[in-house]
A and B are shown apart, each in its own frame.
Chain A
């Protein structure tokens, strides 16, 4: 067990998988000597050489195409797209090619690859460097979508994503790069599709992922001070999502609040809530609630950007309203 940052945990996972499998390679802008935007590739090019940790031109289409083309010939690429916003420059290659080739060719070939696209708001990066559009990828058949919230999950899930035979969209959160946590360096990959119950509670299920799951944990502390005991579920994988863990929690608490950083309108929370409503119609003690950012581009100025954030206070306040009878 070692204490390390979320970025270091990812770096460790990639190093271990590259040592384990000679077909794994990584490509993207500034992944070489620079070590990636957050040091998540630090030292890897020195260790594995410039042919396996490949610095590329600013060519998102070609980064994705090189990854896909190499996967067709047996490689296991890790494509770094720097920010989720720039993944949109390769949306054609991700959606029209990577996600569909196996199906269009009826299984003649698979496209095992990891599509890394760090998401979320950080440092006032404004509208084109702050987005979280996980809903776009969840809505694309053929893709797996993973969004880890802790260093240990980033380590275990990146390993699993590299070993998966599907194209995996891997969304690290930019504000988590420097978060530290204990990581078991010899840990096995974490099963994709398994949620984590981050805190056990009885009164309400707070359902989230990525950085907002951490906000839910902080919200649970605030709620506990008011005598409300929230259960916090970190989905970790958005597709496939862990229906069993989510449903058994809601069965117990009979209240649910879903929180995510991306816009509430059209967000993945709506899809989750739809399934929850179908399964729990008439069985909940309070109306189910979704929190997300307003449907505006992420603004630059701090007080404006903060309006897009779904922080612990906002979550606790909304949850407390649903649990009014308890207070």
Chain B
């Protein structure tokens, strides 16, 4: 952690770039592996939104918690979960974060404070509030960051959570990653009244807004808010505008979107934005490229590891269901 008020050093921004590159490479590799048939089911790529996970999680201790949603790879990587174990999980292999029982939407690593991606909107958020309730009851120093999309802002339980977090004054930073889409629909087309960010005032939760494609801005805003939450300032809300480069999930080509809109978003690439800043502030192009190359190699190694990892044995399908009345295998 650093003083959020101090201007970021190029070294620090290089660290953020490294996280963003790892996420970008992971998502590209996941898409390729899905197309090749190594990965099944839902893979929701975070591509384009990397600056938010990187800029927020850089302020967290390992013991702090994050909760995520279906588009959760970026948060896991930024919180320190091993990309190799994550890739193994996507490949359904032993050695994955859940040894193949969870897949993309259920990646968690409690040893890194990653409470889990989640397949149901907005349950990651409501349970994050529950985790914060436990932190308060146990008088622990940690905080919880709950990531969610703009689509979640039309789900009822989220409003129960906003009331609850304020009522019990819990240490939560909400991070709304507004990519403009609720699956295939524009969120603004399915929202009556004012947009998400204007609703929070009604709950008495302070809101900050940031350009989610600018990692320097995100890390600055998040640092400020996390310091407030950590020092007992109660819940805060960060709204980060961004764009989802790909469809809702890897199978979805996103053809319901205007090609020009996608092209414009790709030009406002958070990775390129960070690279430009670095080069304007004295970092060599070579240094920047070496960060990208290192990420490429790390993810390629993760894919190779996942390909070689064994599938879980059939017997493991019957373990960790429950203690009392657990099923037996073979049945």
Q: List chain A positions with a Cβ less than 8 A from chain B.
A: 25, 51-52, 56-57, 59, 61-62, 65-75, 92-93, 96-97, 101-109, 141-144, 164-166, 192-193, 239-240
Q: How far is the CB of B14 from chain A (nearest CB, A)?
A: 32
Q: A57-B164, A73-B131 are in contact. Are A93 and B324 (CB under 8 A)?
A: no
Q: How far is the CB of B128 from chain A (nearest CB, A)?
A: 6
Q: A61-B157, A104-B101, A105-B108 are in contact. Are A73 and B126 (CB under 8 A)?
A: no
CA distance A102 to B110 in the complex (A): 12
Q: How far is the CB of A23 from chain B (nearest CB, A)?
A: 8
A66 near B98: Cβ-Cβ < 8 Å: no
B134 near A73: Cβ-Cβ < 8 Å: yes
Apart from the given pairs A69-B131, A103-B101, 13 other A-B contacts in the complex at a CB distance below 8 Å: A65-B126, A66-B129, A69-B115, A72-B134, A73-B135, A75-B134, A93-B126, A97-B123, A104-B106, A107-B320, A108-B97, A109-B108, A142-B322
Q: How far is the CB of B327 from chain A (nearest CB, A)?
A: 7
Interchain residue pairs A-B with the least CB separation, the first 6: A69-B130, A240-B325, A65-B126, A61-B157, A70-B134, A73-B134
Q: A75-B137, A108-B110 are in contact. Are A144 and B129 (CB under 8 A)?
A: no
Q: List chain B positions with a Cβ less than 8 A from chain A.
A: 97-99, 101-102, 106, 108-110, 115-116, 118-120, 123, 126-135, 137-138, 156-157, 160-161, 163-164, 167, 316, 319-325, 327
Q: How far is the CB of B163 from chain A (nearest CB, A)?
A: 6
- In the complex, 12 of the A-B residue pairs with CB atoms within 8 angstroms, ordered by the A residue number, are A61-B126, A62-B157, A62-B163, A66-B126, A66-B133, A67-B130, A69-B134, A70-B131, A102-B321, A102-B322, A104-B98, A105-B108
Q: How far is the CB of B331 from chain A (nearest CB, A)?
A: 12
CA distance A272 to B98 in the complex (A): 33
Q: A51-B137, A66-B164, A70-B134 are in contact. Are A166 and B126 (CB under 8 A)?
A: no
Q: How far is the CB of B87 from chain A (nearest CB, A)?
A: 16
Which chain A residues lie closer than 8 Å to B116 at the CB level? 101, 104-105
A109 near B110: Cβ-Cβ < 8 Å: yes
Determine the residue in chain A with the shortest Cβ distance to B107. Answer: A105
Which chain B residues lie closer than 8 Å to A93 at the CB level? 123, 126, 157
A166 near B322: Cβ-Cβ < 8 Å: yes
Which chain A residues lie closer than 8 Å to B119 at the CB level? 96
A72 near B127: Cβ-Cβ < 8 Å: yes
CA distance A102 to B319 in the complex (A): 10
Which chain B residues lie closer than 8 Å to A109 at the CB level? 108, 110
B163 near A25: Cβ-Cβ < 8 Å: no
Which chain B residues lie closer than 8 Å to A106 at the CB level? 98-99, 101-102, 316, 319-320
Determine the residue in chain A with the shortest Cβ distance to B100. Answer: A106
Determine the residue in chain A with the shortest Cβ distance to B157. Answer: A61
Which chain A residues lie closer than 8 Å to B108 at the CB level? 105, 108-109
A69 near B132: Cβ-Cβ < 8 Å: yes
User: Among A93, A165, A193, which residue has the most Cβ atoms of chain B within 10 A?
Assistant: A93
Query: Which single member of A57, A144, A166 contacts B163 (CB below 8 Å)?
Result: A57
A92 near B98: Cβ-Cβ < 8 Å: no
CA distance A62 to B157 in the complex (A): 7
Q: A57-B167, A61-B160, A141-B327 are in contact. Are A69 and B133 (CB under 8 A)?
A: yes
Determine the residue in chain A with the shortest Cβ distance to B109. Answer: A108
Which chain A residues lie closer than 8 Å to B120 at the CB level? 92, 96-97
B323 near A164: Cβ-Cβ < 8 Å: yes
Q: How far is the CB of B106 from chain A (nearest CB, A)?
A: 4
B129 near A65: Cβ-Cβ < 8 Å: yes
Which chain A residues lie closer than 8 Å to B123 at the CB level? 65, 92-93, 96-97
CA distance A327 to B269 in the complex (A): 86
A62 near B324: Cβ-Cβ < 8 Å: no
CA distance A67 to B137 in the complex (A): 12
Determine the residue in chain B with the shortest Cβ distance to A241. Answer: B325
Query: Which single member of B106, B138, B157, B163 contacts A105 (CB below 8 Å)?
Result: B106
CA distance A106 to B316 in the complex (A): 9
CA distance A108 to B319 in the complex (A): 12
Determine the residue in chain A with the shortest Cβ distance to B320. Answer: A107
Determine the residue in chain A with the shortest Cβ distance to B98. Answer: A106
CA distance A59 to B135 in the complex (A): 20
